Amino acid sequence: MVEAERKPVPIGVITEIHGPVAVIDCDTLPPLHQALCANVANETYLFEVHQHLDKRHIRTIILHRNASLHRGMVVYDTGASLHIPVTPDCLGRLLNIFGEPLDGGSALKTTEFRDVHSKPVPIHESVGVGKVLETGIKVIDLLCPFIKGGKTGLFGGAGVGKTVLIMEFMHSVATLHKGVSVFSGVGERIREGHELWHAIRDAGVLPQTLMVFGQMDESPGVRFRVGLSALTYAEYLRDTLKKDVLFVMDNIFRFVQAGSEVSSLLGRMPATVGYQPTLSTDVAEMQDRILSTHNGTITSVQAVYVPADDMADPAVSTILSHLDSTVILSRAQASKGIYPAVDVLQSSNKLMDRHTLGPRHYSIAEGVREHLARYHELEDIITMLGVEELSVADRKIIIRARKLQRYLTQPFWTTAAHSGIPGVSVPLESTLTDCENFLLGHYDEIPEERCYMRGVMEDLVR
């Protein structure tokens, strides 16, 4: 959409303000999702229309942090819904929900704008998912691979390593694939945003990255919409630059949470477990826009906070239903020092079949999973009776499964500064060869601890 010269026209006055929600008395009712604005001391505050209360009154959410707004203030109609400036120069920038710079740089120079509420591309223009997107992270590539054009969720409670895994993934994608990525920080710690920004700059991949932030300190209105802003940029890069785009979000649960805050402030009755009645449409509105076309793909990776480690939480299960691949991080693994703390037996990938993976990858992954599953089954027996009580065949499986479990840990670039171990990236082919050797028993004599936190096995065998 090209911005016409619009002059905001006065539309009404503020009559009530409840935190991020304002009631406005209007002369004519603006449509839902319309953006309105008010000016205070050279600052423009934006409102988004959410409810028509009666013939004159509307409820809006304020898309700003600390509003110095007050009753009686005049509100203007912008004539459109929230739209953001788009230009190829957005790459390398750190922006807020309105596409304004947060990095101290100059404003984006462009006459082109996009609506953050645009519709998904029509079904006939969208294309399906493609091949495996290699990440260099052993356990991911082998057992829950990311698929190009697919949607992956990284699930886990607080502090199990979702953000670390996302940062490592962005690092590897930028260095391995040289694609562009759009990162959206939604309602998470502000410090993490700064760290990511520095990490990306230090890795030299800033020119291929765009970051859009609306973190914890922002109002629920901002946290609710920032994901859509970021997604709009991802769509723009896909359509205009015809690029393969990686759309990364940390954390989509915060989007649902912000929606729930907004919903209760709008006076809607909560539904299941206190979530908003619009939970499934809110999530679908975002997820269904993450599509690939003939012009380019959007591959998305989303961190999903799991409240109280309960996967049955309605928000978590709603998000889960949209994903192709789910990577579940478990506290039990993390507490044993197994990082990344992927729970291999719970994680799954709908697209993981012989056709997508190829027969070799498929059978090795199956072999590894079977070993780990058998080990899991026998764990209690081993604790009570000891390994000696097991059959010879089971004992072999245990030996190999324990080594595989350790082998699937990996030092990360992201944590190198803390752990003192430099990060490693392992090509999928090497992971496959190593795991095949484990399964065939070629590493039966190697002590377990030498399999832990390393890259490939080859150098050790040599």
Ligand X SMILES: Nc1ncnc2c1ncn2[C@@H]1O[C@H](COP(=O)(O)OP(=O)(O)O)[C@@H](O)[C@H]1O
User: Is 389 a known active-site residue?
Assistant: no
CB nearer to ligand X: pick between 163 and 425: 163
**Exposure string over 172-198, b if 16+ CB within 10 A, otherwise e:** bbbeebebbbbbbbbbbeeebbeebbe
**Strand 180-186 to 245-250 pairing:** parallel
For the bound state, the minimum distance from the C-beta of residue 272 to ligand X, rounded and expressed in Å, comes to 24
185 interacts with ligand X by CB under 6 A: no
Catalytic-labelled residue, pool 48, 134, 188, 261: 188
415 interacts with ligand X by CB under 6 A: yes
Among 163, 325, 347, 410, the residue binding Mg ion under the rule CB under 5 A is 163
For the bound state, the minimum distance from the C-beta of residue 13 to ligand X, rounded and expressed in Å, comes to 43
Q: What is the DSSP letter of 4?
A: P
User: Is 195 a known active-site residue?
Assistant: no
CB nearer to ligand X: pick between 12 and 161: 161
For the bound state, the minimum distance from the C-beta of residue 44 to ligand X, rounded and expressed in Å, comes to 34
C-alpha–C-alpha distance, residues 371 and 396, integer Å: 10
164 interacts with ligand X by CB under 6 A: yes
CB nearer to Mg ion: pick between 47 and 197: 197
Among 1, 158, 416, 461, the residue binding ligand X under the rule CB under 6 A is 158
Residue keyed to tokens 């260095």: 175
3-state secondary structure of 293: strand
Taking only Cα atoms into account, the Rg of the chain, rounded to an integer number of angstroms, comes to 25
12 interacts with ligand X by CB under 6 A: no
CB nearer to ligand X: pick between 362 and 452: 452
Catalytic-labelled residue, pool 138, 148, 151, 162: 162
Among 76, 169, 339, 375, the residue binding ligand X under the rule CB under 6 A is 339
Report the partner that residue 164 touches, choosing among ligand X, Mg ion, none (CB closer than 5 to 8 A by kind): ligand X
For the bound state, the minimum distance from the C-beta of residue 306 to ligand X, rounded and expressed in Å, comes to 9
- Residue among 179, 296, 160 at smallest CA distance from 240: 296
User: Is 188 a known active-site residue?
Assistant: yes
| Helix H or strand E segment including 115 | strand 113-115
What does the DSSP assignment read for 20-88?
TEEEEEESSPPPTTEEEEEEETTEEEEEEEEEE-SSSEEEEEE-SSS----TT-EEEEEEEE-EEE--G
Cα 413 to the chain's mean position, in Å? 19
| Distances in whole angstroms, Cα of residue 313 to Cα of each of 157, 273, 309, 318, 319 | 12, 8, 9, 9, 10
Please list the active-site residues.
162, 188-189
- Catalog residues that contact ligand X under the rule CB under 6 A: 156, 158-164, 339-340, 412, 415
Binding residues for Mg ion, rule: CB under 5 A, are 162-163
